[in-house]
Amino acid sequence: MAKKTAAPLTFERFLRSIKVDKSHDHAEVLLLTCIDFRFFTLIAKEMDCKGLTGKYDHFILAGAALGAALDFSDAHLPEPKPPECSCKPLLPRLHWQQVFIEHVQIALKLHSTINRIIIIEHRECGAYKAFLKPEGYPKPTPKKDPERDAHKAQADKLEQIIKAHFPSLKVDKWLAQLKPDEVGPLMKHTPDARDSLLIESLS
């Protein structure tokens, strides 16, 4: 008799599995997401509805894992390279990865109770188009999903960086998308609009 395969872990089940200590007011999770405005409200609702209200710090960076993992010299940028910025950069010019790592450090200093980082990437990400794939990614098929592969590669890369600096932290990697695409905080939507936020595991 064939063994039943376990159902894939959903984001809802994952959040419910996180045991938080309500006896103190410190964060226990650091959440990393992209700057895309469409996702703020929906992700916050997901976190809050699953019992994580007041138990996570939220760091926002363009591209989420991509922004914290890329080497921001201009060598990786597609042709034609963008023109030099006419404004003078602040010195020292902090690398985006350094900014992320230093924010993790200060979060841990303020909340020694933080034990995991949750990375939430999202499809149709403008940062991925700007830095990696200007033409965008093709629609996924049952056999190929280049967009998911790109997000997984950057999330895996960031996980290695995090583990190198903070080996005791757990890292959880997810990929979100809006369905339907027009749902967002500036649109009229029903109270259950968070059902339009689909989040799949990148592990």
Q: How many CB atoms lie within 10 A of CB 68?
A: 27
Query: CA 167 to CA 11: how far, in whole Å?
Result: 24
State residue 130's pLDDT score.
86
State residue 1's pLDDT score.
56
Looking at the DSSP assignment, which residues form a beta bridge with residue 94?
none
Residues of the chain with pLDDT below 50 are 76-77, 88-93, 183, 186, 188-191, 193-194
State residue 190's pLDDT score.
46
Tokens of 161: 């960086």
State residue 89's pLDDT score.
46
State residue 171's pLDDT score.
98
**CATH 3.40.1050 is right for the domain spanning 28-71+91-201:** yes
For 64, left (φ over 0), alpha (ψ -120 to 50), or beta? left
State residue 73's pLDDT score.
56
State residue 179's pLDDT score.
78
Residues in CB range of 71: below 8 A, 6 or more apart: 97
Question: For the chain, how far is it from start to end, CA to CA, in angstroms?
Answer: 29
